[in-house]
Each structure stands twice: as structure tokens, then as C-alpha cells.
Amino acid sequence: MRPLNFDNRFVAELPGDPESANTRRPVHGAAWSRVAPTPVAAPRLLAWSKEVAALLDFDEGDVQDPCFAEVFAGNRLIEGMVPFATNYGGHQFGVWAGQLGDGRAISLGEVVNRRGERWEVQLKGAGPTPYSRGADGRAVLRSSVREFLCSEAMHHLGVPTTRALSLVATGESVVRDMFYDGRPAPEPGAIVCRVAPSFIRLGHFELPASRGDRDLLERLVHFTIDRDFPHLVAAHPDDTVARRAAWFTEVCERTAVTIAHWMRVGFVHGVMNTDNLSVIGLTIDYGPYGWLDDFDPDFTPNTTDAQGRRYRYANQPAVGQWNLARLGGALVPIFPDPAPLHAALERYAAVYSDTHRALTAAKFGWRAWRDSDEQLVREAFDLLHRGEIDFTLFFRALAEVDPAVPSLAPFVDAFYRDAARERIAGDLLAWLTRWGARVAQDDEPTGARRARMHAVNPCYVLRNYLAQQAIDAAEAGDPSEITALLDVMRRPYEAQSGRERYAARRPEWARHKAGCSMLSCSS
Ligand code: AMP
Ligand code: MG
């Protein structure tokens, strides 16, 4: 395996924990702790992403080298790696939770590739760290398959996200109480190698702020802007206040854009705690996430959130702003005047609204959003909900409807229940007639409109039941479906012949099956 070029700025420039023992404890005044991965019994490479390998300048030969599985299981360090876990806090389900930190994530370092791009390489599930609290630092195969696949699927869908290089089985078992019903059982363990320009979260800033550690807070802000937002240093070379204001504004803008894309593709994150939001606006921490099948704005895949449904599909834009307000609150001590913080939070709302409207117009096949479209869109989502129509299939089918002579024929596969279809058939046809009239106003050739619609309405999304099938096969010893699924998700907007089954609505057997509709946080 070829060497990597490391330039570990996080540990070089931010204060580290002087204590070197790997014991669980509060860590004050430091952004990270040195900690080595704990070796595992029998690393075996189950899947890898060729695109992410290329980001690190690896080719197929590097990946197939037995050293690769050893390194990305945490059994072996290569020249330049300085493994560390970072210190952060967070608001979990609306409540301040204090110090959390990388309890099972260990960064190996920051790679600078041939193109000069910086990619931090991080193992998830590589053993305990000072931040592991009561847990074991490990991850089960099922959650690792889900993180590996969804990271890459989201990238190919055009949604900002952390990436995944590899999925390695550990050859060890991990005990989990999957249903939180007092029946813990051993499951196969795995490690995902995540890759991103930065793994800094909103909670990294909240923790020192909560402790009144202004010095660490300032250093973190300075570091983040310098490493992850260098264009802002160039734009405001001498004005720290303006630079910080521009930074928080950009954090808000990026978060708004990412969440607008979640809404576009029907993704529900499931655990939007402030420790699970990236400061560079990436989708991060794939846990009990899910995808809309039959449209329901209140859908959440997370069983832990089934009561309050704080992180339900339709609430994600508001939660994004709530989370950013927690970050804004943490930054108050280093802003002479809080006005720019308030303005940035308002900017979040404006950017979300503009992006969401533009994407919604594209989904419906209109050239641009008009305020008068609001009513038609609201009625469409009401029909989708009442008619239990598949979110993804609806928009693909809509592109096939002739605006001049609408019919329900293209939607034949999008319904989950006959009774619901019959209930709304008349209303849907009437709606399609009005939609057709709106499309006609744009006066755009059908082919061009259809191509624009297909570019924002995926044919394939990583439906939970598809991931679960890959998991079941992998647990039974055959990981090939993981790679097969990844290959389909590489071109999500293109109908791929022979792969129709991957575009199908959730089958009935999956409606209530664990992993296919609802998931616990246990992972
Ligand atoms: P999550 O909401 O799943 O992203 O995790 C919240 C916190 O719990 C983070 O600080 C994680 O590092 C930590 N955590 C989750 N699972 C484990 C585990 N198996 N071992 C150690 N820490 C964990
Ligand atoms: Mg997390």
C-alpha cells in the first residue's frame, strides 16, 4: 500500500489533552486526546468506494493489499498517522448533554492528496477513547453497512456529506440490545473509515462555551476558519469581527442548503442533535436515518424519537435553525455585538426558503418558483399523504404525465394501498389537470422539462429495506450485495436496465420489519 501524505493540523494547532491514559473522563481545556485504535481479531475488507480511494490517491492495488484492511481496521498505523479523538458536547433532543466527544471515532490524520485537497481519515468503531463514557467504542456490522452505503449514496445524489472509504469486518462480536427490550445479544462488528475535509461539529464550540473556556472557544473558531474556510481569511484579512460574522453566516447558509437537499430526496436524518451537525454543512453521523416511502411529513425512522418526533421529516428545517441558534448562543462571548449572529440565523431561513423553492419548482417540472405555486404544492403533498403515495416514485412518474392529457397510469406502482388510491383518484386527476396548465405556462419542450425533473428526482434512493437486505446477506456471510447496492446508487438519477427492483416501492413484508421502517439508536 502506498504511503499517504499527512499534515495533521488539528492536533498541531489546537491544544491537546496532557493525560495520555485511555481512561474515560471529562477533558478540560483541550480539543483532542491522543488515542490509538484497539486492534481487532481478524480484519476482512467487505466493501470500499473507488471514488473515495481515488481522493486519497489509492488505486485498486493499494486497496487489495492485505495491509489496507489492517490499517483501516486500526490494527496497524502507517507513517504520518497520529490517531486522536476529539472533544465536543451537544444538545441531544433539545437538552444540553455536556461532554460527549468521539466515543468510538478515532481520526488517523489529515491526508493532503496530489491535488492539494485535505481529507481527514477517521475510523468509526475502532475501540474506546476517553470520550466513550459507558459504551464500548465499537460498532455493529448492520449500522456500519448503513453508514458506508448512505455516505456514498448521498454523495451521488448531490447532497453534501461525509464520505466512506471502506467497510472492514472485525472478526469480533459486539453485544447490543437492539430492541432496547433487555435482550442483549452478540452481533458481528465492523469498522467504517469515514473521510471528510473536516469532522468539526456544532458541539465542538458549544462545549468550551458551556464551560466558560473562552480561550479554547476562540482558538477553535480561529482554527476552523483558517483551515476550513480559508476564503474568509482572504476576504477579511484584518477584521476579525467581520470574518467571524461571515463565517457564522456561511455555516448557516451551508446547513440550509444541505437540509433543503434532504427534503428534496426524502431523507430523514433521525438524530439531528447538535453534536451530529457538521460545521461545514455536511450530512454526518448516519445512525437511525431513513427515507420516505409512502409520504408522511411526520415520519421519523428513529424509535427513540417516536414519541416527540422532534426529528420528523417536516421538522428538519426548523431543527436546523434551532441547532444553529445553539451555536450562535455559544459564540456570543466572542462577538462584541450579537446582531450579526441574529442576522445569520435569519439568513438561514432565507437561504433555506430560496433553495427549497427552487428545488421544489424543479421537482414539479417548473422553470422557476412562483409564489402562486404554493397552493398547488401544498395540495400535492396532501394528496401524497392521503393517498399513501411513494414520494420517490411519484416524482419520477410525474415526469411521464402528459400535461395536456393527464392520466393516473404513470402512478400505477407508486401506491401502497388500493383503498387509498381509490380514495384520492378523482382529486389527483383534478390536481394533475391544474399541474398540466401550470406546466404549459412555461412553454418548455417536454424532453427538456423531463430531463430537468429527472436531474432532481432520483430513481433510486437507499430505501431502508434495500440496505437491510444487504445487511442480512452480509451477516449470513455474503457481502456482495453491499457492493451491488453501492453500484446502483452511483447513478441514482438514471433508470438502469436490469436494476428495476432497486427502484421498487417498499414491499409489504418490510412495512414493520426491524431495520426496514423503524430503527433504534443501538448500533
Ligand atoms: P450519536 O448520537 O449516536 O452520534 O452518539 C452520541 C454520543 O455517543 C457520541 O459522543 C458518540 O461518540 C457516543 N457513542 C455512541 N455509540 C458509542 C459506542 N458504541 N461507544 C462509545 N461511544 C459511543
Ligand atoms: Mg454522533
For the stretch 101-116, pLDDT in tens is 999 999 999 999 999 9
Pocket probe for ligand 1: among 33, 132, 305, the residue whose CB has the most ligand atoms within 8 Å is 132
> How confident is the model over 239-244, as a mean pLDDT?
96
Residue 521 — very low, low, confident or very high, per pLDDT cuts 50/70/90? confident
Residue 102 Cβ < 6 Å to ligand 1: yes
Active site residue 228: no
Percentage of residues in the chain having pLDDT higher than 90: 97
Specify whether the CB–CB gap between 198 and 278 falls below 8 A: yes
Decide if 121 contacts 109 (C-beta within 8 A).
yes
Task: Report whether pLDDT(280) > 90.
Answer: yes
Q: How confident is the model at residue 253 (pLDDT cuts 50, 70, 90)?
A: very high
What's residue 248's pLDDT? 98
- Probe target for ligand 1 pocket from 95, 99, 133, 523, with the most ligand atoms within 8 Å of CB: 133
Give the pLDDT of residue 179.
Answer: 87
Question: What integer is the mean pLDDT of 246-262?
Answer: 99
Instruction: Establish whether residue 285 lines the binding site of ligand 1, counting it when its CB lies within 6 angstroms of any ligand atom.
Output: yes
Q: Each residue of 388-432: pLDDT tens digit?
A: 999 999 999 999 999 999 999 999 999 999 999 999 999 999 999
Give the pLDDT of residue 518.
Answer: 83
DSSP state letters, 52-95: HHHHTT--HHHHHSHHHHHHTTTS---TT---EEE--EEEETTE
Label residue 333 by pLDDT band (50, 70, 90): very high
Q: How far is the C-alpha of 69 from the C-alpha of 480, rounded, in Å?
A: 17
Task: Report, as an integer, the average pLDDT of 29-39.
Answer: 98
DSSP letter at 123?
A: E
Instruction: Look over the chain and give the mean of its residue pLDDT values, rounded to a whole number.
Output: 97
Q: Which residue out of 275, 285, 294, 390 is catalytically annotated?
A: 275
8 Å CB contact between 200 and 215 = no
CA distance to 63, 74, 258, 388, per residue, from 39 (Å): 19, 6, 36, 48
